[in-house]
Structure 1
Amino acid sequence: MSLAKEPERGEMGSLGELYRAPTLGSLLEMGQWEAAEDKADAIFRELKEHWRDSQEHILETYLNIASSIVSLIHRTKKWLADTLPEDFYALAQGRPAGSDVEELRSWTERVIAAYRRSVSMVEKDSRSSIIRKVQEYIALNPGTVSLQSISAHVFLNPSYLSKVYKLETGEGISEYILQVRMEIAKELLAESPNKIYEISVQLSYQKPSYFIQLFKKHYGMTPQEYRNMLDS
């Protein structure tokens, strides 16, 4: 292992903040970004105040942070070369990020930001997949679907699922179910000989009066008025 310059030796001591729980790596793993930022500040404050001239302590800090970042990136099933394109080859060849505290701090901030972007993309892909499954399930089961049945289908808590769906689409699951049912109602009124109360039951509205109320609120006319308009 080579160092950028000869280390200046003083009385040996160990780093404290780097290993004090919760560690920087554990905070990043839990997605506690503000706490991780505070932890990094504490690590580099200690390094600057007590070990700024110690190449060994700078190297120890680099190796610890690099190891944590590499492990976290691989756990998200991402390649280092894709996540850290600017720093991958230096990491792969074991080259320290810098010979002083400020260079190492700048590198740390850069790789943490890259890791955070990577996590955000993974979470977004995961949420998009959930939304797609929810909408497919509703399309296949418009007359019997409920929040509970959807939650069971995607293996998520109903409350959490509602929050994710609202965050991603800007509307609630019940609003989307209503929209799908009203679109199906229009098709049935136009193409099916079924009576209005039969269509109401088909779409899981046991009270035709409630179905008529919803349809009028959605389209500005009752189901019968809609049929009459088609026939005229």
Structure 2
Amino acid sequence: MFHLLIVDDEASVVDSLADTLPWADIGITGVFKAYSGAEALGMMRLNSIDIVISDIQMPGMSGIELLERIRKSWRKTKCIVLSGYAEFSYAQQAIRHNSYDYLLKPIGDGEIMDKVEAIVKLLQEERQEDRSYQRAIKAFRENLPKIRGELLNGLLQGKRYSDSRLNEELEMVSVDVRQNDCFALMLMRLEQGFAEMDFLSLSLMEYAIGNIAEELFEDKFRLWACRDVHGYLLFMVTLNDERPAGDDASPAPRSPSPEDAELFQLAASRLQSSVKQYLKGSVSVIVSGWGFFPHDMNGLYQSLLASLRRMLGDQDDLFIAAPAEREPMSIPSLQTLYEPPMLVHLLESGDWKAIGEKLGLIFGELGAKGAESTEHLVEVFFFIYSAFSSFAHKNGRRMEEMLGIGLADLRELSACRSVDALRGWASQALDFMQRDMERETRSTRETVVRKIQEFVRKHLGEDVSLLAIADHMYMHPVHVSRIYKLVAGENLSDYVLRLKMERAVELLTGSTLKNYEIALRLGYQNPNYFIKVFKKYYSVTPQEYRLKLPE
């Protein structure tokens, strides 16, 4: 809701603008009047004024002086200056004091309404942006530990970032790690005494473990922690060396010495003992060798998981130092399939370009590692097939409906004959799926537009503003406007106006209703405004239109 102040030393001008125009139609809920600059300032002090329309030439305090005072005390208030003087000096002064617009008298009511409506939209955007920004900052601060953990988790899973993007992310979450820093990983599995806890109690214990770890490591190391996708606590450990001032000018961080490595393992062992002593629960701890950030993140993490599978098993309260280098495997594993962003998530987001890029990475790795392996081909096929089928089912469809019987058939697995055959199958299936979803999107949008038009026709004489339509559709006004223009090829406001004018012609032609009665039936509370709109649309007034009708 916005308030408007109209200022002019000619009372007839103020009263005419304030009392005859349909301000409520454009979001103005309060209109105030002032007949001098001094009176306007008094109104400003007593009321919350969002928009000021002021004449320039007024006795006592000119409009330019008033504008200057408003700029100093009410910086968010938008101002329109009216004047019968065309001298450019006035326009210069108005611009210098950040006037929103400078208009010359005489000016039509429609132009005044258009200018104020534009300001209302601008104010709405500013308010929304300000509220959204403050909410976002508050939410970000409250969720900073979680956001840090999600970033670390992504790196552990192999998520790829450009150097500049990664630096931005690290700075945003206030993590003091630079590229090529040396680091090690410490994985902790919570066992007896913790497994029976509910979610809240377990979260408190994890918080307590994090605090204990910070105390034990703080002299020599920095920690960055998260809960990984398997539910284990994971700590990334870097050397706590003093950083010289500067960025690129700083020398490269040093590699850990044997003493550093020994201190790291000692602190990890003490953490295991402290958790058992103070929190009354057992944990197993696995520590990795050292690598360089971020390139070795996924490799060291996978070595910890491999050590956990091979050496830990179902035993509790163990401490393991993973081998510094991963053992070479006779059969390579495909990493790109399981690295974020996952294919199924990209499908859910409808990002077809990113889906194509993901498939390109998968087949690139497959060609390098598993071109001769039927097992790898089958693994990739079922991975892609399961993502496609999950997406189809979430949209209430069968695979045969989206892809056709041939592409959805699993009986012969003909797509697994070769990398090229599998790539061709995936590309064709993706193309079918994309076209199917685009047809569904068009159909959904067309349904939305039909419902909008039905609402407008049914409530033509009532409130059919964009906000009222958006409320009826449970959609954001901007989204309603964009969808309507995209499908119908015209603005929603033009459609509403056209229906109202067509209905006005019907009433003028087929009834004896007076102009003000027709105006009220069409939702115009001000008959004079209805007459102006009608004349602008048909180039004649309603009365002139009636007189031209055949007897």
Q: Do the structures match in fold with TM over 0.5? A: yes
Say whether residues 1:138 and 2:456 are aligned partners: yes
Deviation at 1:71, TM superposition (A): 1.7
In 2 relative to 1, CA 102–24 (structure 1 residues): closer, same or farther, beyond 3 Å? same
CA distance in 1, matches of 2:357, 2:408: 28
1:62-211 paired onto structure 2 within 5 Å: 62-85=381-404, 87-88=406-407, 90-91=409-410, 93=411, 95-144=413-462, 145-211=464-530
Of 352, 373, 378, the residue aligned with 1:54 is 373
Q: How many residues align?
A: 222
CA distance in 2, matches of 1:207, 1:55: 78
Deviation at 1:96, TM superposition (A): 4.5
CA distance in 1, matches of 2:530, 2:443: 36
CA RMSD in angstroms comes to 1.7
CA distance in 1, matches of 2:481, 2:452: 11
Structure 1 or 2: larger helix share?
A: 1
- Kindly provide the amino acid, as one letter, of the partner of residue 226 in structure 1: Y
Deviation at 1:78, TM superposition (A): 2.5
Stretch moving more, 20-29 or 210-219: 210-219
* Structure showing greater Rg: 2
3-state DSSP class of the match of 2:336?
A: coil
CA distance in 2, matches of 1:220, 1:80: 57
Of 504, 520, 533, the residue aligned with 1:214 is 533
Stretch moving more, 67-76 or 40-49: 67-76
Query: Do 1:58 and 1:101's aligned partners in 2 also have CA atoms closer than 8 Å?
Result: yes
Query: Do 2:374 and 2:416's aligned partners in 1 also have CA atoms closer than 8 Å?
Result: no
Unaligned stretches of 5+ residues in structure 1: 1-9
Of 22, 26, 31, the residue aligned with 2:350 is 31
Structure 1 or 2: larger strand share?
A: 2
CA distance in 1, matches of 2:417, 2:340: 26
Query: Do 1:76 and 1:122's aligned partners in 2 also have CA atoms closer than 8 Å?
Result: no
Query: Do 2:415 and 2:425's aligned partners in 1 also have CA atoms closer than 8 Å?
Result: yes
Deviation at 1:172, TM superposition (A): 1.4
- Kindly provide the amino acid, as one letter, of the partner of residue 109 in structure 1: S
Report % sequence identity.
37
CA distance in 2, matches of 1:56, 1:212: 77
CA distance in 2, matches of 1:137, 1:116: 32
Of 215, 226, 230, the residue aligned with 2:545 is 226
Deviation at 1:74, TM superposition (A): 2.2
1:151-210 CA-to-partner distances (Å, cap 9, x unmatched) read: 121111111111111111111111111011111101111122221122112212223232
3-state DSSP class of the match of 2:417?
A: coil
1:63-84 CA-to-partner distances (Å, cap 9, x unmatched) read: 0101111121222222322322
